Structure 1
Amino acid sequence: MSSLRAKIQDVFNEPACEQNRGKDAKARKEGCSKPLTPGAAAGGCAFDGAKIVLQPITDVAHLIHAPLACEGNSWDNRGAASSGPTLWRTSFTTDLTELDVVMGQGERKLFKAIREIKEAYGPPAIFVYPTCVTALIGDDIEAVCTRAAEKFGLPVVPVNAPGFVGSKNLGNKLAGEALLEHVIGTVEPDDAGPYDINILGEFNLSGEFWLVKPLLDRLGIRVRACIPGDARYLDIACAHRARAAMMVCSTALINLARKMEQRWDIPFFEGSFYGITDTSEALRQISQLLVKKGADPEILGRTEALIADEEAIAWKKLTAYRPRLEGKRVLLNTGGVKSWSVVHALMEIGIEIVGTSVKKSTVEDKERIKQILKDDNHIFEQMAARELYAMLSEHKADIMLSGGRTQFIALKAKTPWLDINQERQHPYAGYDGMVELVRQIDLAIHNPIWRQVREPAPWDCQPAVREELPSTRSETATVQAFKKFAGTMADDLGES
C-alpha cells in the first residue's frame, strides 16, 4: 500500500501539467479531480479508469481480482475496435465470495485463476486488477503476480488502481505507471528504424485510428505502438525504441509521455486528428520531430504533398454540405481533447458554436478554445440538465453533439442530437472522418422527423367551430323532402 501511495503522489505532482505547476504544494497534493464521496459514482472510479486505458490491448487477458460485481466494466463499454485478437472481449474474474474474504483465500484463488488462464488461452501476458475489496483486505497482488510470472513463464502485470484511491482520471494515469514499470522496455525489437513513432491516448473508438494509419503508412512512418487502441502486448513492450510520440489525450496519459521522454529521449507533442487543419498539422509535427531525431529531411516534402492531395479531396467532398450547414448552430457538450479539436473542425465549414463544455479539459485545452472562439461566453464548465433543456427548447442551437447521457434532453426538447463520445458508431478522425462527421450532422439536422415531432399533437388541437355540421344539414334536407312528399300525398287524397 505504501508503494501505491507513492505512485499516487507522483501522479499528483505531474510537472508536465501546466495547471499542476501553478498550484502551491498543499493544493498539488490534493490532485486535479474532486474528492470522491463514499457511495457516490462520481463518473467512474480509479479501477474503471485503469481498465479503460488497458483493456484495448487486445491480446492480453484482463483478470479482475474481486467479487463478481466489480467486472461490470465490460469489453464493449467504450467502442474500441480490434483488427485481430479478441481475447480482450473475454471477462476474467476471481469471483471472490464472503467465505474467500473471511478465510483469507484471495491470494490462493488469484494464483489459481492465473494458472487456468495460462493453460486455457496461452496469452502473451495477463493484467491483474485489484479493486476496493481486495485492496482493503490486504491481498499482496504484486507478490502473487511476481510468483506467477516465475512459475508460468509469462508476464503477469499488477495494475494497482483500486477504486477508492480516486477518480477515473487518476486511474488512467496509474495504468500508465503500470505500463512503465512492468511492460515498456522489457523487449528489444530487432527492426527499430528512424521512422518509428508512438501514438499515446488514442483508443481507436469505432475504428478511428484506422482512418489515420494509412496516411502514416504512405509517408513510410511506422506506428511502433498505439497505446492503447488496437494494441498488442509485444508492440507496447518495444515502444521505448520509437523516435517520436504524439499525445492525443493529455488528461489520460501525460505522465506516460513525459517519463518516456525522460527515460528514452522520445520527444512528444499534443495534437488532434479531428478536422482537416488539425490532421494536417499533426502530420507536419510528426515529420518535424522525426527529422530532429535523425530522419531524412525529404520526408517533410512528402508530407506537404500528401497534405495537399488529401485536403483537396476532403474540401471537394465538403463543398456539397457547406450551403446546407453554414450558419447552423451547434452546442457541444463534451470535454477533454474534443472540447477544442471538434470546435475547430466544425468552424472550418462555417458552423457556429453556441457553447462547448470544458468539464474534463486541461488548462491547455481551455486556452486553445479561447484562441479559436475569441470569446469566453461560449465556454461552460458544466451545464445542468435543466439549463441544457432550456437552451435547446428555446431553439438557441440547431443540434447538440454530446455523449449518450444527455441524448434524452435533446430528444425531449425536439432537437437533433449526434453522439460524439465513445459510444458512437461512426469514426470521425482524419480527413475521411471529418467528411463523415459533417455528413452525419447534415443527416441529423435535415431529418424530416423533426418537422413532424414539432407539430402540435392531434389531441392538443381544437377543431374549428362550425355554424352547422354536415350531418345536421343532411338531416334537415331529408325532413324537408319528407314534409313536401307528405303534403303532396295529402292534397291528392283530398281531391279524391
Structure 2
Amino acid sequence: MSLLRAKIQDVFNEPGCEKNRGKDAKARKEGCSKPLTPGAAAGGCAFDGAKIVLQPITDVAHLVHGPLACEGNSWDNRGAASSGPTLWRTSFTTDLTELDVVMGRGERKLFKAIREIKEAYGPPAIFVYPTCVTALIGDDIEAVCKRAAEKFGLAVVPVNAPGFVGSKNLGNKLAGEALLEHVIGTLEPDDAGPYDINILGEFNLSGEFWLVKPLLDRLGIRVRACIPGDARYLDIAGAHRARAAMVVCSTALINLARKMEQRWGIPFFEGSFYGISATSEALRQISQLLVKQGADPEILGRTEVLIAEEEAIAWKKLAAYRPRLEGKRVLLNTGGVKSWSVVHALMGIGIEIVGTSVKKSTVEDKERIKQILKDDNHMFEQMAARELYAMLSEHKADILLSGGRTQFVALKAKTPWLDINQERQHPYAGYDGMVELVRQIDIAIHNPIWGQVREPAPWDCQPAVREERPRTKSETAALHVVQEFAGTTAGDFGEC
C-alpha cells in the first residue's frame, strides 16, 4: 500500500497538466480529485477509470480480482469498437466471496484464475485489477502476477487502482502508469520508421477513429499504437519506437505522454479530431512534429493538399443542411475540446450557439470559445438540472447536445436531444464525422414526434359543443349505465 500511495502522489504532482502548473507546491500534491463519498463511488471510482482506459485493448484478458459486482459495474461501459479480437468483451473475475476473504484464499484463487484463462484462451497478456476488497485485505497482487508470468510464460500486468484510492480520472492516470511500468518498451519492433506515431486517449467510440485513420494512411503516417482504442498488446509494447504522439481531447493520459517523452524522446501535443478546423490542425501538427523528428519535409505540402480536398468536400456536404438548420439554436452541455471544436463547425452552417459548457476545458479551449462566439456570455462551467430544464422549456434552444445524464431533462422539456459523449451510437470524429453529427442534428430537430408530444393531451382538451338530436329513452338509459360504470358525468364526454 505504501508503494501505491507513493505512485498516487506522483500522479497528482503532474507537471504536464496546465491546471496543476498554476498551483503552489502543496496544492499540486493534492491533485484535482474530489473526495469520494462512501457508498457513492459506483461508476466514478479509480477502478472504473482504470478499466475504461485499458479494456479497449482488444486481445487482452481483463481479470477483476474481487467480488462479482465490481466486474458487473465496469464491463463494457463505453462503446469502444474492435476491428478484430473479441476477447476484451469476455468478463473474467475471481468472484471473491465472504468465505474466501475470511479464509484468506484470495491470492490462491487469483493464481488459479490466471491459469484457467491461459489454458482456455491463450492471450498475449492478462491484466489484473484489484478492487477495494482485495486491496483492503492485503492480497499481494504484484507478487502473484510476477509468479504467474514466470510459471505460464505470458505477461501478467497488475493494475493497482482499487476504487477507494480516488476518482475515475485518477484511475485513468494509474492505468497509464501500469502500461508504462509493465508493457511499453518490453518489445522491440523490427519495422520502426520515420512516420510512426502514437495516439493517446483515443477510445474509438462507435468506431470513429476508423474515420480518421484513412487520412493518416493517405499521408503515409502509420499509427504505431492507438491507446487504448482498438489496440493490440504487442503494438503497445512497441509504442516506445514511435517518432511523435498526439493526446486526444483529454488530459487523462497526459502523464503517459510526458513520461514517454522523457524516456524515449517522443514529443507530443494535445489536439482533437472533433470538428473540421480541429481535424485539420491536428493533421498539420502531426506532420510538423514528424518533420522535426527527421521525416521528409515534403509531407507538409501533401498534408495541406489533403486538408484542402477534405475540407472542400465536407463543407459542400454541410451546405446541403444550411436551408434546414440555419437559425436553429443549439445548447451544448459537454466539455473539453468539444466545447469549441464542434461549435466552430456548427456556426459555419448558420446554427446559433446559445450556450456551451466549459467543464474540463483548458484555458486555451476557453480562449478559442471567446474568439468564436465573440464573448464569454454563452460559456458556463456547469448548469444545474433545474436551470437546464427552465432554459429548454422556455424554448431558448431547439436541441440539446450532451451526455446521457441530462437526456431526461431534455425529454421532460419536450426538446430534441442528441448524445455527443461516450455513450453515443454514431461516430463524430474527422471530416466525415462532423457531417454525420450535423445529419443527426437535422434528423433529431425535424423528427415529427416533437410536434406530436407538444400538442395538448386529449384529457386537457375542452369538450366540444355540438348540436344533437334528442336522445331516445333507451339511449339515455344506456348512457347512464356507461357513465355509472366509467365513473364519469355527462359533461366529461367531448372532443378536442
TM above 0.5, yes or no, is yes
Question: Which protein has the larger Cα radius of gyration, Structure 1 or Structure 2?
Answer: 1
Measured after TM superposition, the shift of residue 9 of structure 1 is 0.7
- CA change 1:293–1:486 in 2 (3 A) is closer
The Cα offsets for residues 17-57 of structure 1, whole Å up to 9 and x where unpaired, read as 11111112222222112111112237510000000000000
Q: Are residue 15 (structure 1) and residue 15 (structure 2) matched?
A: yes
2:464–2:495 contact (8 Å) kept in structure 1: no
- CA change 1:388–1:482 in 2 (3 A) is closer
Measured after TM superposition, the shift of residue 130 of structure 1 is 0.3
- CA change 1:103–1:215 in 2 (3 A) is same
The Cα offsets for residues 424-465 of structure 1, whole Å up to 9 and x where unpaired, read as 111011111111100000011111111111111121111344
Measured after TM superposition, the shift of residue 275 of structure 1 is 1.2
1:200–1:249 contact (8 Å) kept in structure 2: no
Between stretches 328-337 and 115-124, larger displacement belongs to 328-337
Aligned equivalents of 1:3, 1:152: Cα separation in 2:
26
Between stretches 474-483 and 265-274, larger displacement belongs to 474-483
Measured after TM superposition, the shift of residue 139 of structure 1 is 0.6
Q: Are residue 151 (structure 1) and residue 182 (structure 2) matched?
A: no
Q: Which position in structure 1 is the counterpart of 2:87?
A: 87
1:274–1:345 contact (8 Å) kept in structure 2: no
- CA change 1:195–1:459 in 2 (3 A) is same
Measured after TM superposition, the shift of residue 479 of structure 1 is 21
Show structure 1 runs of 5+ residues with no match: none
Secondary structure (helix, strand or coil) at the match of 1:148 reads: helix
Aligned equivalents of 2:22, 2:338: Cα separation in 1:
24
Between stretches 339-348 and 125-134, larger displacement belongs to 339-348
Between stretches 70-79 and 249-258, larger displacement belongs to 70-79
Aligned equivalents of 2:410, 2:475: Cα separation in 1:
51
Measured after TM superposition, the shift of residue 395 of structure 1 is 0.3
Measured after TM superposition, the shift of residue 404 of structure 1 is 1.5
Secondary structure (helix, strand or coil) at the match of 2:227 reads: strand
Aligned equivalents of 2:13, 2:252: Cα separation in 1:
15
Measured after TM superposition, the shift of residue 77 of structure 1 is 1.7
Measured after TM superposition, the shift of residue 472 of structure 1 is 11
- CA change 1:269–1:492 in 2 (3 A) is closer
Aligned equivalents of 1:486, 1:34: Cα separation in 2:
56
Measured after TM superposition, the shift of residue 481 of structure 1 is 30
Aligned equivalents of 1:492, 1:2: Cα separation in 2:
74
Secondary structure (helix, strand or coil) at the match of 2:494 reads: helix
2:400–2:410 contact (8 Å) kept in structure 1: yes
- CA change 1:483–1:202 in 2 (3 A) is closer
Secondary structure (helix, strand or coil) at the match of 1:186 reads: coil
Aligned equivalents of 2:256, 2:323: Cα separation in 1:
44
2:198–2:225 contact (8 Å) kept in structure 1: yes
Aligned equivalents of 1:462, 1:36: Cα separation in 2:
53
Measured after TM superposition, the shift of residue 491 of structure 1 is 43
Measured after TM superposition, the shift of residue 470 of structure 1 is 8.3
Same amino acid, percent of matched pairs:
92
Aligned equivalents of 2:4, 2:416: Cα separation in 1:
46
Aligned equivalents of 1:421, 1:448: Cα separation in 2:
25
The Cα offsets for residues 333-391 of structure 1, whole Å up to 9 and x where unpaired, read as 12233223222332232222211223333444334333333322222222121111111
Show structure 2 runs of 5+ residues with no match: none
- CA change 1:492–1:24 in 2 (3 A) is closer
Measured after TM superposition, the shift of residue 254 of structure 1 is 0.7
Secondary structure (helix, strand or coil) at the match of 1:475 reads: helix
- CA change 1:470–1:464 in 2 (3 A) is farther
Aligned equivalents of 1:222, 1:187: Cα separation in 2:
18
- CA change 1:474–1:152 in 2 (3 A) is closer
Secondary structure (helix, strand or coil) at the match of 1:73 reads: helix
For normalisation by structure 1, the TM-score amounts to 0.93
Secondary structure (helix, strand or coil) at the match of 1:495 reads: coil
1:184–1:236 contact (8 Å) kept in structure 2: yes
Measured after TM superposition, the shift of residue 486 of structure 1 is 40
Measured after TM superposition, the shift of residue 484 of structure 1 is 38
- CA change 1:472–1:88 in 2 (3 A) is same
2:330–2:397 contact (8 Å) kept in structure 1: yes
- CA change 1:451–1:136 in 2 (3 A) is same
Secondary structure (helix, strand or coil) at the match of 2:212 reads: helix
1:64–1:70 contact (8 Å) kept in structure 2: yes
- CA change 1:156–1:483 in 2 (3 A) is closer
- CA change 1:137–1:298 in 2 (3 A) is same
How large is the Cα RMSD of the aligned pairs? 7.8
2:158–2:178 contact (8 Å) kept in structure 1: yes
Between stretches 334-343 and 445-454, larger displacement belongs to 334-343
Measured after TM superposition, the shift of residue 267 of structure 1 is 0.8
The Cα offsets for residues 64-109 of structure 1, whole Å up to 9 and x where unpaired, read as 0001111024543210000000000000000111111111111111
Q: Which position in structure 2 is the counterpart of 1:213?
A: 213
- CA change 1:473–1:347 in 2 (3 A) is farther
Aligned equivalents of 1:138, 1:129: Cα separation in 2:
14
Aligned equivalents of 1:82, 1:214: Cα separation in 2:
16
2:463–2:493 contact (8 Å) kept in structure 1: no
1:219–1:299 contact (8 Å) kept in structure 2: yes
- CA change 1:468–1:285 in 2 (3 A) is same
Aligned equivalents of 1:4, 1:485: Cα separation in 2:
71
- CA change 1:369–1:10 in 2 (3 A) is farther
- CA change 1:147–1:443 in 2 (3 A) is same
Secondary structure (helix, strand or coil) at the match of 2:246 reads: strand
Between stretches 375-384 and 234-243, larger displacement belongs to 375-384
Aligned equivalents of 1:202, 1:149: Cα separation in 2:
29
Measured after TM superposition, the shift of residue 480 of structure 1 is 26
Measured after TM superposition, the shift of residue 492 of structure 1 is 48
Aligned equivalents of 1:82, 1:227: Cα separation in 2:
13
Aligned equivalents of 1:39, 1:479: Cα separation in 2:
58
- CA change 1:472–1:140 in 2 (3 A) is same
Between stretches 308-317 and 234-243, larger displacement belongs to 308-317
Aligned equivalents of 1:236, 1:191: Cα separation in 2:
14
Measured after TM superposition, the shift of residue 403 of structure 1 is 1.4
